[in-house]
């Protein structure tokens, strides 16, 4: 998910990282189910292996280097200014990696990480609401996920794309709450194998010149990636 103040399509689709998703609101977790009714553990009785339950434990990495990176994502994690990312654009982004640890470790069938987003974006001065969405399916393109051994990885970089219409002193702010969870079999599966993993990203990006950008820290706690949820207001209050 890359959010910002630049619409790349007139068809109601917004550019988000290496994929495009509809911006219309959808019911959160529509169609989701957990085998045997037990959240976070899923029966794998149809698998010929000797085990019967699959569990995926999710964690987040926000510093250092990503365990894997495809051509569409930066390798350094954390909230940062990036020039020429994506190609032809620049902005400020919160780059993170979700790691799912699969139990038992000898489970080799596909595991995918799905993500739901609720967000708001603003432009200052004026705290103008530029866009919002609730319960939006923000699952990564398969190229942004990798399953290796007993781990599955998902990297993303939500943030503010700064358009050419920004004047010096203009600031774009992006606030998003994510709910990520693991499913078995395919990326559109409704068979869950993890607890819901809640986290947030806050990014504010100010244009100071051409092409100079800085992270704007006018509001306490801005430009962070953290566990749980965040307020989605311009000033985080």
36 within a domain of the structure (yes/no): no
Q: Are 93 and 156 in contact (CB under 8 A)?
A: no
pLDDT at 63: 97
pTM: 0.81
Q: Could you report the per-residue pLDDT of 187-228, keeping only the tens digit for each?
A: 889 999 999 999 999 999 999 987 799 999 999 999 999 999
Residues 128 and 122: beta-carbon distance below 8 Å: yes
Mean pLDDT of 70-80: 88
Per-residue model confidence (pLDDT) at position 112: 96
Tell me whether residue 106 is in a domain.
Answer: yes
DSSP the chain: ----S----SSSEEEETTEEEE-S---TTTT-B-GGG-TT-EE-TTSSSS--EEEEEEEEE-SSB-S---TTS-SB-EEEEEET-STT-EEEEEEEEEEEEEESTT--S-EEEEEEEEEEEEEETTTEEEEEEEEEE-PPPGGGEEEETTEEEEEE--EEEPPTTPPTT-EEEEEEEEEEEEEESSTT--BB-S--EEEEEEEEEEE-SSS-EEE---STT-SEEEES----STT--
- Sign (positive or negative) of CA dihedral 127, 131, 133, 138: negative
> What confidence score (pLDDT) does residue 87 get?
84
Q: Which residue has the higher pLDDT, 43 or 139?
A: 139
Instruction: State how far the Cα of 23 lies from the Cα of 67, in Å rounded to an integer.
Output: 30
Q: Is residue 99 part of a domain?
A: yes
Q: Is the pLDDT of residue 131 over 70?
A: yes
* 233 found inside a domain: no
Residue 37 resides in a domain = no
Residue 52: per-residue pLDDT:
52
Residue 72 has pLDDT above 80, yes or no: no
- Residue 7 has a pLDDT of 23
Number of separate domains in the chain: 1
Answer whether residue 3 is part of any domain.
no
Structural domain includes residue 130: yes
What's the domain range around 219? 13-26+44-227
DSSP β-ladder status, 224-227 and 171-184: unpaired
**Residue 7: inside a domain:** no
Percent of the chain whose predicted confidence (pLDDT) is above 90: 64
């Amino acid at each position: 998910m890359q959010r910002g103040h630049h619409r790349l399509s007139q068809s109601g689709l917004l550019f988000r990282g290496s994929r495009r998703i509809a911006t219309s609101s959808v019911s959160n977790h529509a169609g989701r189910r957990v085998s045997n009714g037990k959240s976070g553990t899923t029966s794998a009785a149809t698998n010929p292996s000797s085990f019967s339950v699959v569990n995926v434990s999710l964690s987040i990495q926000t510093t250092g280097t990503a365990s894997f990176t495809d051509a569409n994502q930066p390798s350094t994690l954390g909230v940062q200014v990036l020039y020429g990312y994506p190609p032809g654009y620049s902005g400020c982004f919160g780059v993170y990696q979700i790691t799912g640890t699969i139990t038992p470790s000898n489970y080799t069938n596909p595991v995918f990480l799905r993500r739901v987003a609720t967000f708001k974006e603003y432009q200052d001065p004026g705290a103008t609401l530029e866009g919002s969405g609730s319960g939006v399916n923000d699952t990564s393109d398969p190229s942004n996920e990798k399953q290796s051994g007993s781990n599955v990885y998902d990297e993303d970089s939500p943030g503010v794309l700064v358009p050419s219409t920004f004047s010096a002193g203009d600031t774009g702010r992006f606030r998003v709450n994510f709910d990520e969870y693991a499913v078995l079999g395919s990326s559109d599966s409704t068979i869950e194998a993890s607890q819901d993993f809640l986290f947030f990203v806050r990014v504010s990006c100010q244009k100071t010149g051409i092409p100079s950008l800085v992270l704007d820290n006018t509001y306490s706690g801005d430009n962070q990636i953290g566990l749980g949820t965040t307020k989605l207001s311009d000033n985080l209050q």
